[in-house]
Amino acid sequence: MKLKVKNLVFDPKLVELRPINLVYVSRYRQAYRSGKDLGTIIVDKKTKRVVSGNHRGVALQQEYGPEHVIDVEVVSFNSEKEILERFVTENIEHGQPLSGFSRKSIAAELLKFKATPEEIANLFGVAVKRIEEWAGITVVVISGNGDKKREIKTAKRGIPVGTEMSKEEYKTHLQKDRGISAYSQAEQLIRWINSGFINLDCKRTVQALEDLRSSLDKFFAVKKAA
């Protein structure tokens, strides 16, 4: 089927599970420019949602404009579970590898649609125990006013399981946090300070350290008062 790239539907849920990486978009644009075939984008027959090819779709839009016509593979899916399963198999086999966090998020979403841990483990090629571990790393995201909505979301390692945070805090967590513990980050910073690895000529670094000291003073003052 032929389709204008402006008519590709980028599913917000799939993009949340595997965010668009602009570095890969740039690489794909260069590849298209040189005439390379990056494969056919797969779309859901009913909704025209992109199931495989979000990065390629964005690259095509940016490189050739919204009116550019491409061939797409149209597939009929019977459920959201089937879409997620195809999304996984396509992204494991080629293109940008799924990050650890994307794997955990997709696994959690598949569990919501009644996929068994065994099915998910087979998709990702990992042990069932690993899927059970992934499912346990969650936080509570609170949104709305008055009658607040509470939603269980996958989190990166280091955040205590069950931590409550706002929708904005969760967004920042996804975009900026690394999946390591607070003590690992603190121990590394201590080593760098003691070894003289800190660049004191960098104003941003010095300001961040001053902000850290201020936050630690407030943190321990509250702990002491408690």
Q: pLDDT (tens digit, 9 = 90+) per residue, 27-47?
A: 999 999 999 999 999 999 999
State the pairing for strand pair 138-143/149-154: antiparallel
Query: Percent of the chain at pLDDT above 90?
Result: 67
Within-domain flag for 130: no
- 154 and 201, same structural domain? no
| pTM of this structure | 0.69
Q: Which amino acid is at 13?
A: K
The per-residue pLDDT for range 116-170, each reduced to its tens digit, is 999 999 999 999 999 988 888 889 999 877 678 888 888 988 888 889 999 999 9
Within-domain flag for 188: yes
Within-domain flag for 113: no
- 84 and 40, same structural domain? yes
Within-domain flag for 101: no
Dihedral sign of CA atoms 140, 10, 113, 118 in order: negative
- 221 and 157, same structural domain? no
- 67 and 44, same structural domain? yes
Within-domain flag for 105: no
pLDDT over 80 at 78, yes or no: yes
Which pLDDT band holds residue 93 (cuts at 50, 70, 90)?
A: low
Q: Which of 118, 114, 117, 123 has its CA nearest to residue 136?
A: 117
- 190 and 165, same structural domain? no
Within-domain flag for 120: no
Total number of domains constituting the chain: 3
- 10 and 82, same structural domain? yes
- 145 and 220, same structural domain? no
What pLDDT is recorded for position 145?
74
- 65 and 13, same structural domain? yes
Within-domain flag for 128: no
Within-domain flag for 111: no
- 143 and 80, same structural domain? no
Instruction: Give residue 215's domain range.
Output: 182-225
- 219 and 154, same structural domain? no
What is the CB-side half-sphere exposure of residue 49 using CA atoms within 13 A?
16
- 21 and 81, same structural domain? yes
The per-residue pLDDT for range 174-197, each reduced to its tens digit, is 889 988 899 999 999 999 999 999
